[in-house]
Amino acid sequence: MQAPAQPGGDWTAVLRRQPARIVDGQAEGGYHDVFEIICCDCGDDPGLDYRKVSPQLQRIRGPYPIAAGVTAYERHIELHRGCTHLAGRAASAGRPGAMPRPARGQGPEPGVA
pLDDT at 83: 59
Look at residues 61, 63, 64 and name the one whose alpha carbon lies nearest to residue 97. 61
Band of the pLDDT at 6, cuts 50, 70, 90?
very low
Domain ranges (residues) in the chain: 2-92
Q: Is the pLDDT of residue 31 over 50?
A: yes
Q: Using CA atoms, how far apart are residues 23 and 97, in angstroms rounded to an integer?
A: 26
* H/E segment holding residue 78: helix 66-82
pLDDT tens figures, 66-108: 999 999 999 999 888 875 444 444 444 344 444 444 444 444 4
| Predicted TM-score of the model (pTM) | 0.62
pLDDT tens figures, 34-72: 999 999 999 999 999 999 999 999 999 999 999 999 999
What sign does the CA torsion over 44, 47, 49, 50 have? positive
Q: Is the pLDDT of residue 33 over 50?
A: yes
Query: In b/e form, how buried is each residue of 32-65, taking b as 16+ CB within 10 angstroms?
Result: eebbbbbbebbebeeeeebeebbebbbbbbbbbb
